[in-house]
Structure 1
Amino acid sequence: MVQERNNGLNKEMVLPPIQQNRPALSWGVKIKKKLKAVPPYLGKFRPSVGQCCHQCTPDSLGKKLGQNSPSLGFQNLLSVNETHTRYRGWLVRRVCCVLYVNGCKVYPSPVGKRLDGVCQSNRVQEALTAEQKAPEGGDSRGQLNRLSPYLTLINTCISPGLLRFVGWVMLKMLGSVFGSIQVNLNHLAALHRASQQGSLPVYVYVRQSVMDCALIPLVLFCHNLRVPYTLYPLQINSSWLRSVLQKVGVVLLPPCALTEQDAEMDGLYSPVMTSLVRELLREGQAVSVGVSWESGQGGQWLARIRELIKNGSVLDVSLVPVGISYDSVPKTNIQVGLSSLLRFLWSLLWRRTGGSVRIHFAQPFSLKEMCETGRCRVDGWRPLQDLLLPTILNNRADSVFGQRMMSWLLPSTYAPEPIQPTHPERDLSIALILHLLYSATSCTAVMSTGLVSSLLLHRHRKGVCASALCRDVAWLTEEVLFRNKDVGFGGSLVEVVYYSLTLLAPHLSIAAAPSRKDPFIAPCPSLAATLSLSLHAQIVTHTFIMEAVGACAVSAMLCEVAGSGVSSRVRSDGVEGEQVRGDMEFDVVLCQSELTERALQLCHLLPPGFMPPCQSSQSFALDAVDSLVRCGILIMEEVPRDVPICDFWKKQGTLSWSTTDDPYHSDSDCEEPDSHSYKLSQPTQCPEMLFFLCSMLAGHLRALCWTTEGLDLLHTPLPEAQCVAQIHAHLCDTADKNKQHYESCSEEAARTAVRTLIDLGVLVEEQQRGGVSLGLSLLFQLADNRQKLHRFISQYLYN
């Protein structure tokens, strides 16, 4: 933890002025009057985030590039004044932004002989030969004709004059979009030290919006660091706009490809892009890559860089995970044209600011150290159907140990080399993608809108008073900081809550009648409002994922106890009969082995990016159970042997027998006592806290349940896109029918559910003329097996 001596969370990080751009709302005044006596926000300690993995990259961790730097605090990138220039005066204050941009350092980026290097590379030559477009020994004119769609991509450069102009435009434009862009100066100081050591940085972030690829170069440009070449699958229709972006280092899609998947289908695209990245890194250029946890798109660039290091084309690179948090994620369209861009810029002049942005640069680590030292292990990966189907179909209590294999994070068309889907090198590239997804998410700050959205969506679904909401925000902030997660806001508690409610007001119902002193706040029961709140609350779910997994495992065991007909007494001090007062004490004792097993099975159903990639699933499941003890939900208890324990682990047919020639055989093997047992704690807030944690994963699990129920409605085989569309429509219809749980019917939830069912073997990929289609497997064409799958998933839903 790094101590910060300030008044409030961080006085350098000022909230955007609320009163200037928005009218004073009645409920805002009531909140301020109601809570004007609340003390300033706790925030004297701020966690140090972004350290690299101690298991895979201990050498990089030992460098400690940011340890010796003083506490520099945060800087608002949009707050440019005369102090940022060398000049002073009345005129300087009005053109300070121009002077500031003109004084920023721009590193030269000549194209030079890059085209010759790409065309003469072995990869490109072999691809041209395989296509028989230009046979070996053919003339260079035929090769250039075949490479003509990629010539503009290869000649992407960084023009100093144009970069300064675009930087000035971006500062002015983003000032209308966001209230502030906060940057951790300690992280930038570490990047300066790393650049002085000559390491080639590769910035990796999780894709959220088109704004992501603009924010990282702008921050680096304003702090005199090398502006990276941005690899982003953006299709621009305007030739003028493509020319501008390509002269500021943006590598776009080829003009003939509409999507990234279409571009990868061309056999020449991957060799050309791999050779282009090699030439950029050889020139000493920085690179910026965006990765999507939902589809795995973007991971092919990391696989290409790793392939270059493995072949010796590049000595090493320093990977820098970047966490970008928005108070409100801007909605932008990837298919950008000149007219739509001009309309977007014009709309910025009349819109209100959409909150703040926080950017964290994590500690750089060596890619060569991670991949070539053998510390990153992938030998325990197994298909999801091998991990869970024995438990789902055969009701076995002992699951197969291993990590879930997620080969879809690097589709075969994206691989830099034609290798088998189960090849160790391919698995290592997938492990790298998972590692960076988790690292970038871990250093992402939790914004105030995320805290309020999580509380309203998972704890106060039916509404809450403003005073109770403020108390919960204070409590949740302390819990987030305790888990070594930074927050992206500052100021007093009243300011933070009012600011968040102002941004979330379109998705909330706020009752502030004159007769009601304490305003009542509830989320709107609509699809758009619920999906927006769910998007904001995702980062809080990432923070509490360990506790959420453990809570769902406890809920599953309690549901099985209730459904098994086992009677449980309710004890209280000095009370007999039906009258019960005080805290209730349940005579249900949970076995550690069974509880850990439930948590382990649930781990395999989580989307990528939630679990630490270097930690085994078994270890994570044990930590999930231990986290509930730290939260006070569970209490470890020593249970006498004559007291029956609620243990479904030793069911009929699950006892393992050792052979007679086993040297470690003992007659007492089957009587080995359990290591630990747990029972629910008795504080009154325990059930509420348990349900709050369970609700964090309820949206994902409910989408899986609804998808399983809708399998009989699919007329398979179907292309994957059509299958996802039909599942999405089914999720929306189910939510509309129930008039609730709209967070389970997003397109993201539909795609994740379909991908999970493919990994489980429920949906089978079939190769057809039009491409890959999905069909229902023979095993799950039986309604009984689909019901077993539904029961297995629904056991983790607390309601």
Structure 2
Amino acid sequence: MVHEKNDRINKDMVLPPIQQNRPALSWELKIKKKLTTVPPCLGKFRPVVGRCCHQCTPESLRKKLGQNSYFGFHNLLSVNETQTRYRGWLVRRVCCALFVSGCKVYASPVSNRLERICQSNRVKEVLAAEHKAPEGRDSRGQLNRLSAFLPLIKTCISPGLLRFVGWVMLKTFSSVFGSIQVNLNHLSALHSVSQEGSLLIYVYVRQSVMDCALIPLVLFCHNLRVPYTVCPLQVSSSSLRSILQKVGVLLLPTSAMNEHEAEMDSLYSPVMTALVRELLHEGQAISVGVSAESGRGGQWLAHIRQLIKEGSVPDVSLVPVGISYDCVPKTNIQVGLSTVLQWLCSLLWKRPGGSVRIHLAQPFSLKEMCESGRCRVDELLPLQDLLLPVILRNRTDSVFGRRRMSWLLPYSHYASELKEATHPERDLSIAIILHLIFSATSCMAVMSTSLVSGLLLYKHRKGVSASVLCRNVAWLTEELLFRNKDVGFGGTLAEVLHYSLSLLAPHLIIAAVPSGKDPFIVPRPSLAATLHLAHQAQIVTHTFILEAVGACAVSAMLCEVAISGVSSRVRSDGVDGEDVRGDMEFDVLLCQSELTERALQLCHLLPPGFMPPCQSSQSFALDAIDSLVRCGILIMEEIPRDVPICDFWKKEGFLTWTTTDDPYHSDSDCEEQDLHSYKISQPSQCPEMLFFLCSMLAGHLRALCWTTTGLDLIDTPMPEAEFLAQIHSHLCDTANKKKQHYESCSEKAAHTAVRTLIDLGVLSEQHQMGGVFLGVSPLFQLPENRQKLHRFISQYLYN
């Protein structure tokens, strides 16, 4: 972490003024007046994020250790005459055009690219198989077959058009965002790597179509090579397609509506793989977005790794990119010229709102990651091997490993190199994809709207006063900085809170208090509002994932204690859902082995991107328990003789409670005693903090529970898309009946829950002519097994 003063932090991030065209924010002036007496805060340290993994790529980390000076941030939209070679009144009026004309653009030759792609062994094999022609012979039919891909193959970067599009994007984004802050820490490393001739691959987690535009714009404005961008959206307008393909955007074929349909063409993957190879041979950079939900985009990283393994490409430098939005822009699946023009016209009457923070991480060698053997720690195992015996209560020992998420790199009937890949090779590609998803997510800064959304959703669901929320913002910001997480805001607490509430106003209820004190803020109890807050708060959950996993493990054990009734000293003055009143006393010691086992089992249910892929699951579970000690929730103690303890490991996998003065307890030398135990600390804020951490994973776990109960209502097997739609409808209906927990009924929650149940063996995939069909496996057609699964998942839900 780099020491920084408060005034420097405030200088790095200037908050845009509150826009008058936003929905009226009740009592906003009173909020500002109430909070102006709060002194400037937000910590004195600026974390350094985006460093290489010290375990997987130590050589890449060592090369750039001398370039860790703090360079601050650059607002991409703040273009003035100092960034041009000229000065004067007229220059200030056209400084943006002068700046764009002075940016460096690298040549992008397209000569003979089609011939070189036709000579690719992958393409020749597919064409020969389809036309039953000898491999060394071309035919008119083969060339006609490639005609649909000619626009993709001829994608290039036109310097003049690129400068014009860059100017249009700067003007457009100035109407969309208040600022685009770029972290300058690793830009010098990117310049040096680029000058050395290394091939750069930028990898980001897909959030919006804006991602595809922001990364090339940042690199263009900083005189770096503009990458060829893989765009997953279908663009219907031929004019717009022509423009985008001349600025390096690789679009889907016109015949495909999405990536899945494009991949159904047997020639699409070989052509695109050969195109990527030719682009790398030309020295071009590539930008790829990866979806942690569906795994889309990961296949291109696997193909690049295959090219390195074959020797076609010597090496590439991977650059994770973290993009954080105050409000994630909405995107359309189909992009046409008319919709783009309508959107541009609407910006004329719209003032900018929200900011963007972009972190370009330190580049690292993909070849080093693959050949060093340090990328994978655990053996990747099917989820049903890891958890199914525990759920069905027929396992006596623990199996340590990592969940294999094979859907991140799906098998394809056209990708022969992926078909023939052995499990170790395939697992290594999946581990690299997981590593990049985690690295890109770790680079994301926590924006002020994310911080406030997390507090309102996880800590103050039933409302909070502005003054209490202000104190919590200060506390949570310090906790984020302590965990080496950068924040995308600065200024006084009054400015930060006022700015966040103004952006979140459509999703909040801000009312006056009859006593005349500060306003009361409540999240709107609606589906749209809750989903928006939950989406913004995801990065907070990612930061506190260790503590959240440990808290859920503690909660599961405390519920077991309360149900068993072995200790009368477990009491509470009142726990009603999310409200905690009075002091809670837990005079029970929790065994370290049992806590670690609970945390380890919960780790396997997490979606991709939360756990570091180069850390073993057992080590992560141990760190989760240790993090609660650092938080002050748990206290490590010696095991006394009159307190019930959990003896999990020595009772054949079943949870039992005994006392250490049990007359039948064996104290022989052959049976090693577990002397590590934890006790819940007694400060009044501890239960509130415990429930705050548990609620971070409650949405994901509740979606799994509701999906499990919804299997009784669905007639299977049925097509995967229809099955997902029915599960999503069931989640929404369940939330509407309960009139709460709407964060558990998003499309992403439904998709993640279904994918987890497939990996767990609850749902079976059947590949038929009409596509993939999903059905309930014979083992879980039995109601008692579904009840065991529901009981296993629900133990981690604190309420």
The answer, yes or no, to whether TM exceeds 0.5 is yes
Task: Please show how residues 146-295 of structure 1 align to structure 2 within 5 Å.
Answer: 146-295=145-294
Q: In the alignment, residue 227 of structure 1 is paired with which amino acid?
A: V
Residues 274-322 of structure 1 show CA distances to partners (whole Å, capped at 9, x for unaligned) of 1100000011000000000000000011001000000000000000000
Q: 1:567 to 1:13 in 2, by over 3 A?
A: same
- For the pair 1:783 / 2:750, whether they are aligned, the reply is no
Matches for 1:428-443 after TM superposition, within 5 Å: 428-443=428-443
Q: Is the 8 A contact 2:594 2:646 kept in 1?
A: no
Q: Structure 2: how far apart are the matches of 1:480 and 1:495?
A: 19
Residue identity opposite 1:121 in structure 2: S
Distance in 2 between residues matched to 1:120 and 1:603, nearest whole Å: 47
TM-score, normalisation: structure 1 = 0.95
Shift of 1:519: 0.5
- Kept in 2: contact 1:8–1:491 (CA 8 A): no
Distance 1:37 1:303, change over 3 A: same
Equivalent position of 1:55 in the other structure: 55
Residue 576 (structure 2) aligns with: none
Structure-2 separation of matches of 1:27 and 1:667: 67
- The separation in 2 between residues aligned to 1:368 and 1:650, in whole angstroms, is 45
Quick check: 1:387–1:402 contact (8 Å CA) kept in 2? yes
Q: 1:88 to 1:20 in 2, by over 3 A?
A: farther
Preserved CA contact (<8 Å) 2:638 2:675: no
CA distance in 1, matches of 2:628, 2:752: 27
Q: Which amino acid letter does the alignment assign opposite residue 191 of structure 1?
A: L
Residues 513, 430 of structure 1: CA spacing in aligned structure 2 closer, same or farther, 3 A cutoff?
same
Match of 1:663 in 2: none
Instruction: Give the direction of change, closer, same or farther, for the CA distance of 1:420–1:395 in structure 2 (3 Å limit).
Output: same
Distance 1:164 1:476, change over 3 A: same
In 2: Cα distance, 1:95 partner to 1:556 partner:
63
Distance 1:774 1:360, change over 3 A: same
Question: 8 Å contact 1:128–1:143 — kept in the other structure?
Answer: yes
Q: Is the 8 A contact 2:23 2:506 kept in 1?
A: no
Q: Is the 8 A contact 1:483 1:543 kept in 2?
A: yes
User: CA, structure 1 residues 589+266, in 2 after alignment: closer, same or farther (shift >3 Å)?
Assistant: same
1:496 is paired with a residue whose SS is helix
Separation in structure 2 between the aligned mates of residue 653 and residue 379 of structure 1, nearest angstrom: 22
Q: 1:667 to 1:320 in 2, by over 3 A?
A: same
AA paired with 1:203?
A: Y
1:417 equivalent to 2:421? Answer no
Identical positions, percent: 80
Gaps of 5+ in 1: 573-580, 656-665
Q: Is 2:119 the partner of 1:117?
A: no
Instruction: Flag the 1:620–1:23 CA change in 2: closer, same or farther, 3 A.
Output: closer
Question: Hey, what's the Cα distance between the residues in 2 that align with 1:217 and 1:611?
Answer: 29
Measure, in 1, the Cα distance between the counterparts of 2:496 and 2:653: 56
Q: Distance in 2 between matches of 1:379 and 1:767?
A: 30
CA-to-partner distance for each residue in 1:575-609, whole Å, 9 max, x for gaps? xxxxxx99654211100000000000000000000
> Is residue 2:728 matched to residue 1:759?
no
1:654 deviates by: 6.4
SS of equivalent to 2:417: coil
| 1:107 and 2:106 are equivalent in the alignment | yes
Aligned-partner SS, 1:216:
helix
Q: Secondary structure at the match of 2:696?
A: helix
Work out the CA distance in 2 between the residues paired with 1:372 and 1:652: 41
Q: Which residue of 2 aligns with 1:477?
A: 477
Structure 1 CA distance, aligned partners of 2:272 and 2:701? Answer: 38
Contact kept, 8 Å, 1:8 with 1:41, in 2: the verdict is no
Q: Who is 1:577 aligned against?
A: none
Query: Number of residue pairs matched?
Result: 780
Partner Cα distance (1:513, 1:41) in 2: 27
With over 3 angstroms needed to count, the CA separation of the structure-2 counterparts of 1:524 and 1:26, relative to structure 1, is closer
Letter paired with 2:729:
A
Give the Cα separation in 2 of the matches to 1:653 and 1:358: 47
Distance 1:653-1:260 versus aligned 2 partners, 3 A rule: closer
Q: SS of the residue aligned with 2:334? A: coil
Q: Which residue of 2 aligns with 1:661?
A: none
Residues 743-763 of structure 1, C-alpha deviations (whole Å, 9 max, x = no match): 000000000000000001000
Asked whether the equivalents of residues 720 and 773 of structure 2 are also in contact (C-alpha less than 8 Å), the reply is yes
In the TM superposition, what are the counterparts of 1:331-370 in structure 2 within 5 Å? 331-370=330-369
2:327 aligns with 328
Distance (whole Å) between structure 2 residues aligned to residue 145 and residue 451 of structure 1:
55
Aligned to 1:460: 460
Q: Give secondary structure in 2 for the equivalent of 1:518.
A: coil
Change (3 A) 1:420 1:553: farther
Contact 2:465/2:518 (<8 A) preserved: yes
Which residue does the alignment assign to 1:588? Answer: 588
Which range moved further: 423-432 or 145-154? 423-432
Mark the CA change 1:570 to 1:608 in structure 2 (over 3 Å): closer, same or farther: closer
Shift of 1:343: 1.1
Q: Does 1:630 align with 2:630?
A: yes
Give secondary structure in 1 for the equivalent of 2:257.
Answer: coil
**1:339, 1:645 → 2: CA distance?**
68
TM-score by length of 2: 0.95
Contact 2:448 2:489 (8 Å CA) reproduced: yes
Q: Which amino acid aligns with 1:520?
A: F
Distance 2:567 2:220 in 1: 67
Q: How far does residue 415 in structure 1 lie from its aligned partner after superposition?
A: 4.7
Partner-residue secondary structure (3-state), 1:55: coil
Pairwise CA distance, 1:419: 2.1
> Separation in 1 of the partners of 2:237 and 2:649?
63
Structure 1 stretch displaced more, 117-126 or 188-197 = 188-197
Q: CA offset at residue 139 of structure 1?
A: 3.0
Distance 1:541 1:311, change over 3 A: same
- 1:523 counterpart letter in structure 2: P
Moved more, 42-51 or 3-12: 3-12
User: What is the aligned partner in structure 2 of residue 659 from structure 1?
Assistant: none
- Measured at CA, do residues 418 and 19 of structure 1 come closer, stay the same or move farther in structure 2, by a change above 3 Å? closer
Q: Secondary structure at the match of 1:754?
A: helix
Post-superposition CA distance 1:505-540 (Å, at most 9, x none)? 000000036852301000000000000000000000
In the alignment, the residues of structure 1 paired with residue 556 and residue 765 of structure 2 have an alpha-carbon distance, to the nearest angstrom, of 32
**Is the CA contact 1:118–1:272 (under 8 Å) kept in the aligned structure 2?**
yes
Q: Deviations over 1:347-397 (max 9, x none)?
A: 222233230000001110000000122222366111000100111012646
Q: Secondary structure at the match of 1:394?
A: coil
Give the corresponding residue for 1:388.
Answer: 387
Please tell me whether the aligned partners of residues 133 and 146 of structure 1 are also in contact (alpha carbons under 8 angstroms): no
Name the CA distance, whole Å, in 1 between partners of 2:642 and 2:476.
41
Q: Distance in 1 between matches of 2:457 and 2:390?
A: 32
Query: Cα 1:653–1:476, aligned 2, differ >3 Å: closer, same or farther?
Result: closer
Deviations 1:22-75 (A, max 9, x none): 59855221112111111112332101000111111110111126x436432111
Shift in alpha-carbon separation, 1:460–1:416, aligned structure 2, 3 A: farther
Paired AA for residue 34 in structure 2: K
Q: Which residue of structure 2 aligns with residue 10 of structure 1?
A: 10
Q: Distance in 1 between matches of 2:169 and 2:584?
A: 59
Going from structure 1 to structure 2, the CA distance change for 1:310 and 1:588 (only over 3 Å counts) comes to same
Match of 2:31 in 1: 31
Equivalent-residue separation in structure 2 for 1:232 and 1:535 (angstroms): 22
Once the two structures are superposed, what CA deviation does each residue of 1:694-739 show, in whole Å capped at 9, x if it has no partner? 0000000000000000101111111111111100000000000000
Shift in Å, 1:675: 3.7
SS of residue matched to 2:235:
coil
| 1:10 partner SS | helix
Correspondence list, 1:712-751, <5 A = 712-751=712-751
One-letter amino acid of the structure 1 residue matched with residue 82 of structure 2:
T
Pairing 1:557-572 to 2, within 5 Å after superposition: 557-569=557-569
CA 131–558 in structure 1, closer or farther in 2 if over 3 Å, else same? same
Deviates more, 1:758-767 or 1:407-416: 407-416
SS in 1 for 2:644: coil
Tell me if the contact between 2:531 and 2:746 (Cα under 8 Å) persists in the aligned partners: yes
The amino acid that maps onto 1:618 is: Q
Instruction: Measure how far apart 1:334 and its partner are.
Output: 2.6
Tell me the CA shift for residue 227 of structure 1. 0.2
Cα distance in 2 for residues equivalent to 1:350 and 1:704: 43
